[in-house]
Amino acid sequence: MPALADPQEKGAEIVAAESVKDRPYHELQERFAGHPLGAPPTETFLEILKYYYEPEEAHLAAHMSWDLEPEETIAKRAEMSSEEAAPILTRMASKFFIRGVKRPDGVRVFRLPYILPGLFELPFAMRQPSPELDRLGALWDKYYVEAWGHELHNSSFQVARALPAVQVPKERVVPFEDAVRIVENASSPMIYPCMCRLASHKCDDPIDTCIVFGVGFYGGDVPGEPVLDPAHLVGAPRGRPASVDEVVDVLKLAEKAGLVHTTANFQEGAWMICNCCRHACKVLRGMTQLDIPHAVAPSAYWATVDADLCNGCAACVDRCQVDAIKMGDEGIAEIDVERCLGCGVCTFVCAPDALRLSLRDNRVFTPALDQHEYFVMLGDARGRPQTPHHRPHP
């Protein structure tokens, strides 16, 4: 009779096998953690990566960068042949979990997505609702609270900044703070469902309010054709092309609903304008849920109160998405200038017009150039310096 296996030895074998299986995901976690935006390694993030990538895909992705690189370069770094790597890269690109482009010279190049905007949004932007997608949304929410949100927002340089509402009276608006001007200067605007609300299911605010410009957050415009294999496609973009007028209508709709316009914290080449709520938004929740007062960079304005006109109705208190307004002892609204984002949505519910946007005493600093400077500054603020001459993507 054969000897019975020792249960402890069997358990150790299972643990060892699982450890080997998970190794590519740990390597990929480390890769994302090294980006200026960061992604702290946790068990929850490990589960998120397993949704996106099969083990062999995770292994190859862990050897990719945020530059578009030839597949031969990626394969060599991963100690694979080009013949082995090519179908795996095609499969990942077809699922939109990496970006692939076949250049006019025939060379195929690939890159990782950023974690935000990018890895988080892509499934919700491309796939129809399902129980699996709901599970992914719950994992992202858990990860945000336990680690990711603090990584995003708790540094000296903010990932996102607020924009003043387009319909609110204000003075001397500079172009990079004018949402309409940003839309007019952007390429190929599209309107998507809000990926944060699709992921979180935490509010009933308007859903079709996410404005994306071109393929900026996906690596920018690059000559060539996307690498896509119909056999591996799992969905199609849920966004629709929109005219400038249609996008401005979305901005106005968002303002009436009390949503805050936000964009990436640099001046030129905006990727997107989000219209954010306190319940689901991965930006505003840094202030509301995680209680990080400076998680979002304000606009160059703040709300001011005309005490002679204020009737003490407190409608503005409920309206403010970041708890920057309270009622004073004399029944007059008071603004917490440290929390006020200068968005102006509070003014829409002020019947006596006692609220307006005024220029801050000290103008808010916004990096003057583009997303390259943005990543250099983010990396410096988080202790992950980026080589100044290295561009995160073309």
pLDDT one-digit tens code per residue, 257-284: 999 999 998 888 888 999 999 999 999 9
Q: What is the mean pLDDT of residues 330-345?
A: 94
Fold of the 301-362 domain: Alpha-Beta Plaits (3.30.70)
Residue 17: band (very low, low, confident or very high) from pLDDT cuts 50, 70, 90 = very low
Q: How far apart are CA 129 and CA 156, in angstroms?
A: 37
Give me the residue label for tokens 């993507």.
393
Percent of the chain with pLDDT over 90: 66
| Three-state helix/strand/coil letters over 236-294 | CCCCEECCHHHHHHHHHHHHHCCCEEEEECCCCCCCEEEEECCCCCCCCHHHHCCCCCC
- Write the Ramachandran bin of 314: left for phi over 0, alpha for psi from -120 to 50, otherwise beta: left
For the chain, counts of helices (H) and of strands (E): 14, 14
What value does the mean pLDDT take over residues 192-196?
94
Mean pLDDT comparison of 213-217, 303-307, 368-372, highest-scoring range:
303-307
Contact call for residues 206 and 259 (beta carbons, < 8 A): yes
Peptide bond into 117 cis (omega under 30): yes
Cβ neighbours, 10 Å, residue 174:
11
Nearest CA to 294 out of 164, 88, 152, 142 is that of 152
Confidence at residue 15, expressed as pLDDT on a 0 to 100 scale: 39
* pLDDT digit string, tens, across residues 119-169: 999 999 888 889 999 999 999 999 999 999 999 998 888 899 999 999 888
C-alpha dihedral sign at 380, 385, 390, 394: negative
Domain ranges for the chain, please list them: 26-300+363-381, 301-362
Q: Would you call 35 exposed, middle or buried from its count of C-beta atoms within 10 A (0-12, 13-18, 19+)? A: buried
DSSP-derived 3-state class of residue 191: strand
For residue 375, what are the CA distances in angstroms to 226, 274, 299, 369? 25, 19, 20, 11
Contacts of 302 (CB under 8 A, 6+ apart): 335, 337, 340, 342, 357, 358, 360
Q: Helix, strand or coil for residue 345?
A: helix
Q: Of the candidates 136, 250, 264, 112, which has an alpha carbon nearest to the alpha carbon of residue 196?
A: 136
- For residue 10, what pLDDT is reported? 46
User: And the tokens for 150?
Assistant: 């603090």
Region for residue 118 given its phi and psi (left: phi exceeds 0; alpha: psi -120 to 50; beta: otherwise): left
Q: Is 333 in contact with 314 (CB distance < 8 Å)? A: yes
C-beta separation of 168 from 350 below 8 A: no
CA distances from 71 to 60, 84, 87, 391, 392 (A): 10, 10, 10, 19, 18
A 10 A CB-CB count for 285 gives 26
Q: Name the percent of the chain lying above pLDDT 70.
A: 91
**Res. 7: pLDDT tops 60:** no
Q: Which two tokens stand for residue 4?
A: 């019975």
How do residues 279-297 score in pLDDT, each as one tens digit?
A: 999 999 999 999 998 999 9
Q: How many CB atoms lie within 10 A of CB 68?
A: 21
Q: What is the pLDDT of residues 46-95, one digit of tens each?
A: 999 999 999 999 999 999 998 899 999 999 999 999 999 999 999 999 99
Count of alpha carbons within 13 angstroms of residue 12, beta-carbon side: 5
- Average pLDDT over the chain, rounded to whole? 88
Tokens 């929109």 belong to: 242
User: Rounded to an integer, what distance in angstroms lies between the CA atom of residue 342 and that of residue 262?
Assistant: 11
Query: Please, which residues bridge with residue 379 across strands?
Result: none
